[in-house]
Copies of this chain bind each other. A is one copy, B any other.
Amino acid sequence: MKRKITLKQIAKELDVSISTVSKSLRNSLEIGEETRLKVQAFAKFYNYKPNNIALSLKNRKTKSIGIIIPEIVHYFFSTVINGIEQVANENGYSVVICLSDDSFDKEVLNMEMLANGSIDGFIMSLSKETQFKGDFHHITEVINQGMPVVMFDRVTNDILCDKVIIDDKAAAYEAVQSLIDNGRKKIALVTTVDYVSVGKLRTDGYEKALLDNGIPFNEDLIIKIEDVDTCEITISQLLHDRAFDAVFAVNELFAVTIIKTASKMGLKVPEDLAVIAFTDGIISKYSTPSITTVSQSGEKMGNKAAKMLIERLEAEHDDDEEENENYTTEVIETHLIKRESTD
Listed in ascending order, the chain A residues whose CB lies under 8 Å from chain B are 1-4, 47, 49-54, 56-57, 62, 64, 71-75, 78-79, 81-82, 85, 89, 94-99, 106, 110, 112-118, 141, 144-146, 253, 256-257, 259-260, 263, 282-283, 286-288, 321, 323
Given contacts A1-B144, A72-B78, A288-B288, contact A52 B282 (CB under 8 A): no
User: Among the listed B106, B114, B116, which residue makes an inter-chain contact with A4, where contact means beta carbons less than 8 Å apart?
Assistant: B116
Nearest CB to that of A54 among chain B residues? B57
User: Is the pair B85, A98 in contact by a Cβ cutoff of 8 Å?
Assistant: yes
Distance of A75 Cα from B73 Cα, bound (Å): 7
A298 to chain B, nearest CB (A): 8
User: Is the pair A113, B94 in contact by a Cβ cutoff of 8 Å?
Assistant: yes
User: Is the pair A97, B99 in contact by a Cβ cutoff of 8 Å?
Assistant: no
Distance of A50 Cα from B141 Cα, bound (Å): 16
Within 8 Å CB of A94, what residues of B? Answer: 96, 98, 113-114, 118
User: Among the listed B2, B49, B53, B89, which residue makes an inter-chain contact with A62, where contact means beta carbons less than 8 Å apart?
Assistant: B53
Given contacts A1-B323, A57-B57, A97-B95, contact A52 B286 (CB under 8 A): no
Within 8 Å CB of A260, what residues of B? Answer: 286, 288
A111 to chain B, nearest CB (A): 12
User: Is the pair B52, A118 in contact by a Cβ cutoff of 8 Å?
Assistant: yes
Interchain residue pairs with CB less than 8 A apart (9): A49-B112, A50-B116, A51-B116, A72-B81, A72-B85, A74-B78, A257-B286, A263-B288, A282-B283
User: Is the pair A4, B95 in contact by a Cβ cutoff of 8 Å?
Assistant: no
Within 8 Å CB of A47, what residues of B? Answer: 141
A280 to chain B, nearest CB (A): 12
User: Is the pair B3, A52 in contact by a Cβ cutoff of 8 Å?
Assistant: no
Within 8 Å CB of A2, what residues of B? Answer: 144-146
User: Is the pair B95, A96 in contact by a Cβ cutoff of 8 Å?
Assistant: yes
A71 to chain B, nearest CB (A): 8
Within 8 Å CB of A321, what residues of B? Answer: 1
Nearest CB to that of A73 among chain B residues? B78
User: Among the listed B3, B82, B141, B144, which residue makes an inter-chain contact with A145, where contact means beta carbons less than 8 Å apart?
Assistant: B3
